[in-house]
Structures are given as structure tokens and as C-alpha cells.
């Protein structure tokens, strides 16, 4: 399950991604991003700072300042964003590739039934989530709008 913070990050990046696809994209203020994404402004500043530090967006100062997407939507990995915002995505610490920890109560990982069952589910999930990018999410909205006639 993703956190509310991650949902806010995705909504903000979708707004910035939509803006990046315009003929003449502009930097968007936090107020505009909050309004367009339906996200509380007070959470966005910290989230956008984390995303900026990861090199996904840039902040521009001045009168026409705000935030812009600097990575191509195809290069914004949803799994990397999940790890950035929410931390490890494995359901058990012993399954994490980047934050591996042996489970405190485990006597033998090789025969652990919990690890075996959850690893099958997790690897299937990982294959899917690692194949997704911001471009896929932006594209799915366009497809949904075409289907519903919006």
C-alpha cells in the first residue's frame, strides 16, 4: 500500500508532467500545483523538496518562478519514486534488495515459508512496478479521458 505522501507526490508530478507536455510549459507555483492536483499545499513543499533533491524537478526563483519537471516522464521511474518517498517497498525486510535485513525472529531464511510465499507475490509486483514510469501514468489518463469522452 502506498502512503498518502506518495499519492500527493504522484499527483503533483502528474500536474507537472501535464504542464511539460504543453507547447510552452511554464514553472508552476506550489499554489497552482496544489489546486490542480487537489493536494494540500502544506504537504507539497516538503514533498517537492525531496523530489527536487532527487533531480526530478527543479525550482525556479523569481517572479515567474515555481517548479518544473526536468526529467522526461519516461525517465521518472515509479518504483524509484516509491523508494524515495516511502522507503523500501518489499513486504518483508529479508526480501529487500536495497535495504535488506534479516528478520529478527527467523532461524533459517532458506526454509522460511513466509519468505517463500511473500517472495513470489513481491517479485510479480516488482516486475510490474519497475516497468512503470510517469509517462505511463500520464498516458493512462489520456486514454481514460478518450474512453469516457472527457
pTM equals 0.83
Collapsing DSSP to helix, strand or coil, 133 comes out as strand
Whether 119 is in a domain gets the answer: no
Residue 137 in any domain: the answer is: no
Domain for residue 93, yes or no?
no
Task: Output the domain CATH number for residue 40.
Answer: 1.10.10.10
Distance CA 53, CA 47 (A): 10
pLDDT of residue 5: 96
Euclidean distance between CA atoms 27 and 100, whole angstroms = 39
Ordered mean pLDDT values, 10 residues apiece, the chain (150 residues): 94 96 92 95 93 96 90 95 93 87 86 89 91 92 44
Question: What is the reported pLDDT for 98?
Answer: 85
pLDDT of residue 64: 78
The three grid cell numbers given for residue 18, joined into one nine-digit string:
501535464
Amino acid at each position: 500500500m502506498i502512503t498518502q505522501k506518495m499519492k500527493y507526490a504522484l499527483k503533483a508530478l502528474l500536474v507537472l508532467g501535464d504542464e511539460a507536455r504543453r507547447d510552452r510549459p511554464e514553472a508552476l507555483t506550489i499554489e497552482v500545483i496544489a489546486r490542480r492536483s487537489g493536494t494540500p499545499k502544506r504537504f507539497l513543499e516538503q514533498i517537492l523538496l525531496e523530489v527536487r533533491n532527487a533531480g526530478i524537478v527543479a525550482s525556479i526563483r523569481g517572479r515567474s518562478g515555481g517548479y518544473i519537471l526536468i526529467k522526461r516522464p519516461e525517465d521518472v521511474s515509479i518504483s524509484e519514486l516509491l523508494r524515495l518517498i516511502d522507503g523500501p517497498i518489499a513486504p518483508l525486510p529479508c526480501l529487500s534488495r536495497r535495504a535488506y535485513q534479516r528478520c529478527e525472529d527467523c532461524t533459517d531464511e532458506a526454509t522460511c515459508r513466509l519468505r517463500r510465499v511473500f517472495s513470489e507475490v513481491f517479485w510479480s509486483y516488482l516486475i510490474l512496478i519497475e516497468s512503470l514510469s510517469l509517462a505511463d501514468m500520464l498516458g493512462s489518463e489520456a486514454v481514460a479521458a478518450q474512453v469516457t469522452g472527457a
